[in-house]
Structure 1
Amino acid sequence: MAFTAADVKNLREMTGVGMMDCKKALTASDGDMDKAVEWLREKGMAASAKKAGRIAAEGMAYAAVIDGVGVVVEVNAETDFVGKNEKFVDFVKGVAATVAKEAPADLDALMECKYVGTDLTVTQQQQEMVLVIGENIKVRRFARFAENVSVPYVHAGGKIGVLVNLESDLPAEKVEEIGKDVAMQIAALNPRFWDKSQVGQDVLDEEKKIMMVQMENDPKMASKPEAVREKIVMGKLNKFYSENCLLQQEFVKDNSMSVEQYIASAAKAAGGKVTFKDAIRFEKGEGIEKKQENFAEEIASMVKG
């Protein structure tokens, strides 16, 4: 029975085993998915197949600079308790070190990389962690900056990981002070955009439309000439930028200036120039639908079993 690349992908998602081993299992099992899972379990590769279906929305977001390369990763587990486990934290740091060293193109490539300090792939090391810890563990995403000066910030023990990338002619330690302040701002306020230049026309049109409708529904505003309302809308758009764009936001530590102005003045005071280039913000579990456990039903099903 033939099998497709999609079958290999599905088997990998079911078992957490690497692509090549999944392909071998399907070849050995003539494309039969159940037999392939059995084959992997017999080989000791998929001892955690049942755990792979559990929702992992806890864990840790982590950012670091390793050998000059900025890295931010998110690794998920099922419970907040495991997110604080020393072995789990070490695994997350090892994933970050692997990203820094190997520069994988995407998540699939990362999972096939050799996990630092071992002969195992990241997938195999992840499987080892599942067996040791007893929960579903999943490397979810990563980003890296090899250029410029990267500044990492980890908030609340791994709830949020931020990596800020700055271009500068200043010594790294001076840039790091500025980067840390910017990273903390990103962690706290989670801006939609870094700069107003990134706000697309479609977003602006939608905002304008909402503002015009709001004014039409306000008797005081509705009676004003359209030219006046347009002017008011332009003023409100500036407020939109200051609320949604990092560089135009009020700087949290000193509300007399924007983040952009803070970067420029701090760089000038340090005797050089600093330019914000990019940033990444990972919040642990964001976008993952957490399963609402019904413990009464779970216990009832266990009793029946």
Structure 2
Amino acid sequence: MANITAQMVKELREMTGAGMMDCKSALNETNGDIEAAVDLLRKKGLSKAAKKAGRVAAEGLVGIFTEGTKAAVVEVNSETDFVARNDHFQGLVKLIAHVALKTGDNVDAILAAPATSGGTVADAIASSIATIGENQSLRRASVLSVTDGVVGSYVHNAIDPGLGKIGVLVALESTGDKAELAALGRMVAMHVAAASPLALDAAGLDPAVVAREKAILAEKNAGKPENVIAKIVESGIKTYAKEVCLLDQLYIHDGGKTVAQALKEAEGKVGAPIKLTAFTRFALGEGIEKVENDFAAEVAAQAGLKS
């Protein structure tokens, strides 16, 4: 039997896009003949992954996994919404969320981490691509934890527990009643899903975002005295912060109070002070430019006709 080296496995993976274990197995079956191994993987349908890797994947699922005082949310993309209803793909997203909880939010570290199905998470994704026939990718991940309290969560448009189109995590530090705190965390997470805050408070806003808002306010009031513009901009930024900062937003469950006020009021039921320390909101496909295909033109092109 030929000596199968790591370099041979790596070369075959680069040529086919198949999983590490599949490549190693194919090399063993072909006694180390890489070309024969390529043909074998093609026959098994496992070399499709590489060909599909360049296609836009803007659909898929957001997955959440919670354990104790820690939770992870991941976004795994596919090319079509149809794949999100595939049991195999749903299992892949759950697997990745489990791994992220232990590994952290670095995508490269998650991809390199061992998967329960064997090989690495990257191998599991390549295998899923070959099985389903669509490009898939882990886009991002986030992990939140608390020292004492709960990480509340909410999944919008859930198609299975912990899987949906929007996933939110909210970290609440408190020594109070954990059941009450978990219920509150879910309510706040629902608010985050609906209100899309940009930061926890004004101090957390991206300076570039603040600068852009200031420039817009100044431009709108061009021609007025500089001291007047300065006051208008200052007032406008405060108003903007109330609209986009979580603690200052009007609570969707009670428009008469802010989120910060709602948390303060909830301390009586929880039985201890509550501090909202962080949140994460993942909306499927946000920021990805989807390719809009002209179906008629595509058919005409394949038929060799001019549009």
With structure 1 as the length reference, what TM-score do the two structures score? 0.78
- CA shift, 1:132, in A, is 2.1
Q: Quick one: which amino acid aligns to residue 90 of structure 1?
A: G
Task: Indicate whether 1:81 and 2:82 are aligned.
Answer: yes
Q: Quick one: which amino acid aligns to residue 129 of structure 1?
A: S
The CA distance in 2 between the partners of 1:74 and 1:14, in whole Å, is: 25
Task: Indicate whether 1:293 and 2:293 are aligned.
Answer: yes
The CA distance in 2 between the partners of 1:106 and 1:43, in whole Å, is: 34
- CA shift, 1:170, in A, is 1.4
The CA distance in 1 between the partners of 2:246 and 2:209, in whole Å, is: 16
**Aligned-pair RMSD on alpha carbons?**
3.1
Alignment correspondent of 2:30: none
1:45-60 map, 5 Å: 46-60=47-61
- CA shift, 1:89, in A, is 1.2
Contact preservation (8 Å) 1:64, 1:153: no
Structure 1 counterpart SS, 2:56? coil
Alignment correspondent of 1:199: 205
Contact preservation (8 Å) 1:66, 1:97: no
The CA distance in 1 between the partners of 2:118 and 2:249, in whole Å, is: 47
Structure 1 counterpart SS, 2:60? strand
- CA shift, 1:303, in A, is 3.7
The CA distance in 2 between the partners of 1:48 and 1:201, in whole Å, is: 40
Alignment correspondent of 1:113: 113
Task: Choose 204-213 or 80-89, whichever is displaced more.
Answer: 204-213
Contact preservation (8 Å) 1:112, 1:123: yes
- Runs (5+) with no aligned partner, structure 1: 1-7, 26-35
The CA distance in 2 between the partners of 1:128 and 1:244, in whole Å, is: 41
- Runs (5+) with no aligned partner, structure 2: 1-9, 28-33, 159-163
Structure-2 change in CA distance of 1:170 and 1:207 (3 Å): same
Structure 2 counterpart SS, 1:53? coil
Task: Indicate whether 1:181 and 2:180 are aligned.
Answer: no
Contact preservation (8 Å) 1:59, 1:82: yes
Alignment correspondent of 1:5: none
Structure-2 change in CA distance of 1:209 and 1:284 (3 Å): closer
- CA shift, 1:228, in A, is 5.7
Structure 2 counterpart SS, 1:49? helix
1:1-305 map, 5 Å: 15=17, 41-42=38-39, 44=41, 46-100=47-101, 102-104=102-104, 106-116=106-116, 118-148=117-147, 149-157=150-158, 158-199=164-205, 203-216=209-222, 222=224, 230-304=230-304
- CA shift, 1:168, in A, is 0.8
- CA shift, 1:48, in A, is 2.2
Alignment correspondent of 1:3: none
